[in-house]
Amino acid sequence: MRRVLGVLVFAVAWGMLTVTGAAAAVSPLSRASGPTPFTPGCNGVTQTGTVDLNAEVEPYVAANPANPGALIGVWQQDRWSNGGANGLLTGVSTNSGRSWTRPIPPPFSRCAGGTAANGGNYERVSDPWVTFAPNGSAYQIALALNDPQGTLPTSPITGVLVSKSTNGGRTWGTLRTLIRDTSAQFSNDKESITADPTNSNRVFAIWDRLDFGANSGPTYFSRTTNGGATWSPARAIYQPGSGSQTIGNQIVVLPNGTLVNVFDLVLQGSTNVAVQRSTDHGLTWSPPTVIDQLLTVPVVDPRDGTLVRTGDIIPEVAVDPRPGTNNLYVVWQDGRFSGFTSDQIAFSKSSDGGLTWTPATQVSENPDTQAFTPQVHVDSGGNIALTYYDFTFDTTASPTLDTDYWIARSDDGGDAFHPRERLTPRSFDMRTAPFSTGRGFFVGDYEGLRSIGAAFDPFFVQANNGNLANRTDVFSALVTAPFPLSSTLPPGHGVLPTSHATPGRLPGGPKLVSIP
What's the mean pLDDT in 289-294?
Answer: 97
Residue type for position 4: V
Containing structural domain, residue 362 = 294-516
Burial 159-180 (b: 16+ CB within 10 A, else e): bbbbbbbbebbeebeebbebbb
C-beta neighbour count of 186 within 10 angstroms: 18
Q: What are phi and psi of 436, to 5 degrees?
A: -90, 120
Domain containing 429 — which CATH number?
2.115.10
Residue 485 is predicted with a pLDDT of 74
Residue 344 lies in a domain: yes
| Residue 427 · residue 393 · CB < 8 Å | yes
90 has a pLDDT exceeding 90: yes
451 has a pLDDT exceeding 50: yes
Q: How far apart are the first and last CA of the chain?
A: 28
260 has a pLDDT exceeding 60: yes
- HEC string of 325-381 equals CCCEEEEEEECHHHCCCCCEEEEEEECCCCCCCCCCEECCCCCCCCEEEEEEEECCC
Q: What are phi and psi of 15, to 5 degrees?
A: -65, -40
Q: Which SS3 state, helix, strand or coil, does residue 11 take?
A: helix
Of residues 391, 345, 375, 389, the one with CA closest to residue 489: 345
- Going from the C-alpha of 330 to that of each of 215, 297, 457, the distances in angstroms are 28, 19, 19
C-beta neighbour count of 182 within 10 angstroms: 13
Residue 482 is predicted with a pLDDT of 87
C-beta neighbour count of 471 within 10 angstroms: 27
Alpha-carbon dihedral sign for residues 388, 389, 393, 394: negative
Q: Which SS3 state, helix, strand or coil, does residue 221 take?
A: strand
Residue-wise pLDDT for 238-249, tens only, equals: 999 999 999 999
The structural domain count of the chain equals 1
500 has a pLDDT exceeding 60: no
| β-pair partners for 92 | 72, 101
| β-pair partners for 318 | 329
Residue-wise pLDDT for 196-231, tens only, equals: 999 999 999 999 999 999 999 999 999 999 999 999
Q: Which SS3 state, helix, strand or coil, does residue 178 take?
A: strand
Rounded CA separation 68/220 (Å)? 33
> Using 50, 70 and 90 to split pLDDT, how confident is the model at 516?
confident
Of residues 187, 129, 190, the one with CA closest to residue 163: 129
Residue 511 is predicted with a pLDDT of 67
Q: How open is the CA angle 150-153-154, to the nearest 5 degrees?
A: 55
Residue 514 is predicted with a pLDDT of 78
Residue type for position 427: S
| β-pair partners for 139 | 131, 164
| Residue 422 · residue 21 · CB < 8 Å | no
Residue 173 lies in a domain: no
Rounded CA separation 126/60 (Å)? 12
Classify residue 414 as left (phi > 0), alpha (psi -120 to 50) or beta: left
| Residue 73 · residue 91 · CB < 8 Å | yes
Of residues 304, 332, 318, 485, the one with CA closest to residue 401: 304
Could you give the maximum distance between any two Cα atoms of the chain, in Å? 63
Burial 241-262 (b: 16+ CB within 10 A, else e): eebbbbbbbbbbbbbeebbbbb
Residue 330 lies in a domain: yes
Of residues 79, 76, 43, 47, the one with CA closest to residue 149: 47
| Residue 212 · residue 185 · CB < 8 Å | yes
What's the mean pLDDT in 415-444?
Answer: 97
Residue-wise pLDDT for 61-86, tens only, equals: 999 999 989 999 999 999 999 999 99
| Residue 375 · residue 329 · CB < 8 Å | no
Residue type for position 91: G
Residue 338 lies in a domain: yes
Of residues 35, 71, 36, 281, the one with CA closest to residue 165: 71
Residue 448 lies in a domain: yes
Residue 32 lies in a domain: no
Rounded CA separation 13/137 (Å)? 46
Residue 54 lies in a domain: no
Residue 217 lies in a domain: no
Higher pLDDT among residues 18 and 466, named by residue: 466
Rounded CA separation 260/241 (Å)? 21
Rounded CA separation 76/52 (Å)? 11
492 has a pLDDT exceeding 50: no
Residue 16 is predicted with a pLDDT of 30
Residue-wise pLDDT for 357-413, tens only, equals: 999 999 999 999 999 999 999 999 999 999 999 999 999 889 999 999 999 999 999
Rounded CA separation 376/504 (Å)? 22
Four-CA torsion 183, 189, 192, 193, nearest 10 degrees:
0
